Amino acid sequence: MADKLTLDIVTPYGHIFTDEVDEIAASGSEGEFGVLPEHASFLTTLRIGMLTYKKGAETGIFFISSGYAEVGPDKVTILADSAERSDDINVERAKAAMKRAEERLKEIEKFDHARATASLERAIMRIQVVEKRTIR
C-alpha cells in the first residue's frame, strides 16, 4: 500500500519538478480536484490554474498553464504547456502582461479575442499564485 505519491511536472521546457509528496490539489477543466495515495486511475485536462502539494510540513505552489494530468495509484504526472514554481514567477512581467491583455481586449476587432483572454487569465493566475504564497 503506497502512502506516498510521486509527483512529476514536465513541460516542453524541461522537467520542472519531481518528488515524493503526500497530497496534491490541482485545477482540472471540470474543477478543482485533490489526490491522495491510492487514487483511482484518472486522466484529465488542466485549465490555467494552480497546483499545490503537501509534503510533511512543507507545501509548494505551482502555476500551471493548461495541460494534462495523469493520476495513478502512486504517481501523478503533469504534462503542462508551461509551469512555474511560485518563487520563480516574475510578478512585474505578469502585471505587464495583464495590462497588455486588458488593452487588447478593448480593441476587439484588432486582436484575437481568445488569445487575449487566455493571456489575461494566465497573468491573473500568476499573480494569484504569488499572492497566495506571500499570505502564508
Nearest to other proteins of 15, 136 (CB atom): 15
120 close to 98: Cβ distance less than 8 angstroms:
yes
Q: How far is the CB of 136 from other proteins (least distance, A)?
A: 29
Inter-CA distances, 78 with 8, 63, 71, 124, Å: 6, 12, 9, 21
Q: How far is the CB of 11 from other proteins (least distance, A)?
A: 6
Q: How far is the CB of 58 from other proteins (least distance, A)?
A: 24
Give the span between the Cα atoms of 131 and 91, in whole angstroms.
10
Nearest to other proteins of 42, 96 (CB atom): 42
Reported residue count of the chain is: 136
Of the candidates 123, 106, 46, the residue with the CA atom closest to the CA atom of residue 79? 46
Nearest to other proteins of 41, 134 (CB atom): 41
User: Where do contacts with other proteins occur on this chain (CB under 8 A)?
Assistant: 8, 10-15, 28-30, 40-45, 68, 70, 72-73, 75, 77, 79
Q: How far is the CB of 14 from other proteins (least distance, A)?
A: 4
Nearest to other proteins of 108, 117 (CB atom): 117
Interaxial angle between packed helices 113-135 and 91-106, expressed in degrees from 0 to 180 and rounded to the nearest 10: 150
